[in-house]
Amino acid sequence: MQEFKIKKSSISNAKKIKQLNLFITGVGNVGRNLLEQICKQKEYLENKLNLQLNVIGISNSKKMKLNLNGIKLSDWVAELMKGENANSLEFMSRSKEMNLRNSIFIDNSDSAEIANNYEYYLKNGIDLVTCNKIACSDTYSNYQNLKNLAHLHNTSFLFETNVGAGLPIIDTLNNLVASGDKIISIQAVLSGSLNYIFNNFQKENSFHKIVQNAMNEGFTEPDPKIDLSGIDVARKILILARESGEKIELSDIYNESFLPKECLKHDNNEEFLNSLSKHSNHFNKILIKANKEKCRIKYVAEFNNGKAKVGLKNIPKGHDFYNLEGSDNIVLFFTDRYRNQPLIVKGAGAGAEVTAAGIFADIIRIGKQ
């Protein structure tokens, strides 16, 4: 009888590297940090996650650079400066024409024009990651259309950094909903800038100075009224309500503004700060009342029973919001499973570095699919 020896087939040790091709719009503080993080993590991503990130396109409001072979991250600033004049429609069409597998468009801007292009990217099979809140806080029909397009074309539409910078707030909410849990209510402090301002507002007649400091430190938007009017927080709780399954519009959210109406009329920042100083007594009364009640002032967003509101609240000692420091954010999810003790997400909710980290995490999430 002939003896057969089974020869073990040689298994290749070669790793299969998955290439992600990135098209990045917006290279301000967040975009710069993102590119630095990608550059630093290059070796780790290849060795540990079998991912290679190639930056194919970079654009800001003035210039854009696209290179099919990739842009050297060690020299991206010079490469961009030598690029052609920026055109968002041209950048969009060429990203499609390159027809690269695993293409991801990343929006680090606050541009409505860029947000209007999301539909095109999703329809053409390009994944999308954004920290720009405009699309998801637009009309419910537009928000739902983008979600539907991503599902229809098997593309990812990720916007974790719309709420809480790099904190896993939306991801946590999505996991709760996907696992069949029911959201009963959400309570949150979602503005790092307002938390910073009211944490430091401890002396009378100092409110306008603290707002000025917050502006100087980069905690507020270039137009601080966006933060102080509460509209930014309203957009964030709107997004969380929608991700919970609620059909809700921005106009449905009750915004109890703490600013005198006159302050909101000024377009110039210097005039705005002067108006805050002029109304010092108004802000002093807010502080005096909180101190009398032995409370701390927080700007709180709430979603409960299909309704949402934002506004100042005096938080007593012992509450989860009371010791929230600096520019941190916190979200309490009350659900069927977390009815008595909420699921809490807490941490740094503002800043270019942590926002970039959140965008980076969304990119990696797509790569690992």
Question: Is residue 205 in a domain?
Answer: yes
Q: Please say if the pLDDT value at position 337 is more than 70.
A: yes
pLDDT digits (tens, 9 = 90+) for 33-86: 999 999 999 999 999 999 999 999 999 999 999 999 999 999 999 999 999 999
pLDDT of residue 223: 87
Q: For the chain, what is the domain count?
A: 2
| Domain enclosing residue 105, as ranges | 18-165+353-367
pLDDT digits (tens, 9 = 90+) for 202-238: 888 899 999 999 998 877 888 899 899 999 999 999 9
Q: Name the amino acid, one letter, at 14.
A: A
pLDDT of residue 361: 97
For 138, phi then psi, to 5°, come to: -75, -165
In terms of domains, do 135 and 97 share one? yes
Question: Is residue 214 in a domain?
Answer: yes
Mean pLDDT of 301-323: 96
Q: Please say if the pLDDT value at position 152 is more than 90.
A: yes
pLDDT of residue 8: 47
In terms of domains, do 342 and 193 share one? yes
pLDDT digits (tens, 9 = 90+) for 256-300: 999 999 999 998 999 999 999 999 999 999 999 999 999 999 999
In terms of domains, do 80 and 211 share one? no
In terms of domains, do 140 and 184 share one? no
In terms of domains, do 134 and 277 share one? no
Question: Is residue 11 in a domain?
Answer: no
In terms of domains, do 108 and 253 share one? no
Question: Is residue 270 in a domain?
Answer: yes
* Residue of 65, 133, 225, 236 marked active site: 236
CATH, residue 274 = 3.30.360.10
Q: Name the amino acid, one letter, at 228.
A: L
Is residue 124 within 8 Å of residue 96, measured between CB atoms? yes
Active site residue 236: yes
DSSP 154-178: T--EE-GGGTTTTS-HHHHHHHHHH
CATH, residue 155 = 3.40.50.720
DSSP H/E element including 65: strand 63-66
Question: Is residue 208 in a domain?
Answer: yes
In terms of domains, do 202 and 331 share one? yes
Share above pLDDT 70 across residues of the chain, in percent, rounded to a whole number:
96
In terms of domains, do 155 and 40 share one? yes
